[in-house]
Amino acid sequence: MKKIAIINDIHSNYLLLKLVLEDIKKYNVDDFIFCGDYITDGFDNDRVLNLIKNKTENIIAGNRDLSIANYDNKSWNGINQMKSMLYAYNNTTEENKNFLKTLPIFKIINIENQKICFSHGTPFNVRELVNSNSYDVFEELIDKFSCDIYLSAHTHIPFHTVYKNKHFINSGAVSCVVDNKPHSTYGILSIKENEVHYSQNELYYNFEDVKKYYTDSNYHKECKEWSNLILYTLRDGFDYCCGFIEYINKFSNGNEKTTSNLWHVKFEEYMHYKNLEIL
């Protein structure tokens, strides 16, 4: 039997990644699969990337990884919404930026005669949302790739659907799962003699530890608005980041990249509206 740990959406959170990896030790896994979005929304980009590079070659790019890898070093300057992304770019080594540039958006591997296709969104689009009932997507994947197991990420919502004897799996996220719980999630694939078993795992963390991890950082000082939104998402399991973007778009004609004071004003309004204290 082969046991494979499935890890998604770390988002620079080295603290939670270390907790997840420690928890995984009890399974004595043979290998790992990482499904993208290792960096941004935090500050430990290099520590996260250096750690996963030493775990496996089963690594593909997420949309955030591609954004940093392909950044033109000018278009985010002076844009309030992009402060967090610019922080990630400026605080990632050239070696790791070059590593991100080498990553494909999907891979197909064979383990114990089971073909596994893994991507962040889909092999067609790194940002495509795949949910538990995305049957049209499932059909297209089966038709184009003819694999036994399909792994995706990006939504931060875990699921496991068996459709036409194929397994479609999202193991959730290390950071910012959005299922209304303060936890990290990961998956364990067990494969033996053409039998596939999957277990979805939850790891609850102490939010006060996570809060201190963020608020003691330069990231929190330089990207205070986004850091607050991330922290409350980690506390409540609700996507305050997307909620705020939707809120500010009501006042900016759909232009998310707000350069004026509007970003700061609407952030304070949004936090008051959600009854959240600014940390």
| Domain parsing of the chain, residue ranges | 2-204, 217-273
The β-bridge partners of 2 are 191
> What's residue 252's pLDDT?
81
Contact 220, 83 (CB under 8 A): no
Per-residue pLDDT of 99-154, as tens digits, reads 999 999 999 999 999 999 999 999 999 999 999 999 999 999 999 999 999 999 99
Give mean pLDDT, residues 2-10: 98
Q: 78: left (phi > 0), else alpha (psi -120 to 50), else beta?
A: left
C-alpha neighbours within 13 Å on the C-beta side of residue 217: 25
Residue predicted with more confidence, 193 or 125:
125
Residue 76 DSSP one-character state: T
Other CB atoms within 10 A of residue 31 CB: 15
Q: What are phi and psi of 263, to 5 degrees?
A: -55, -45
The distance of Cα 176 from the centroid of its chain, to the nearest Å, equals 8
Has residue 40 got a pLDDT over 80?
yes
- Return the pLDDT at 254: 66
Mean per-residue pLDDT, 1-19: 98
| Per-residue pLDDT at 54 exceeds 80 | yes
Q: Using CA atoms, how far apart are residues 8 and 152, in angstroms rounded to an integer?
A: 8
Architecture of domain 2-204: 4-Layer Sandwich (3.60)
| pLDDT, averaged across the chain | 96
* CA-wise closest residue to 106 among 133, 132, 130: 130
Which residues make beta-bridge pairs with 188? 5, 199
**Residue 45, token pair as written in the block:** 């980009």
- Span between the terminal Cα atoms of the chain, in Å: 47
Neighbours of 94 (CB within 10 A): 7
Distances in whole angstroms, Cα of residue 228 to Cα of each of 41, 59, 101, 111: 10, 29, 30, 41
Tens digit of each residue's pLDDT (9 = 90 or more) over 240-273: 999 999 999 888 876 667 777 889 999 999 999 9
- pLDDT tens per residue across span 195-235: 999 999 999 999 999 999 999 999 999 999 999 999 999 99
* Distance (Å, whole) CA 24 – CA 55: 13
pLDDT at 266: 95
Q: What is the DSSP string of 229-276?
A: HHHHHHHHSS-HHHHHHHHHHTTTTT-----STHHHHHHHHHHHHTT-
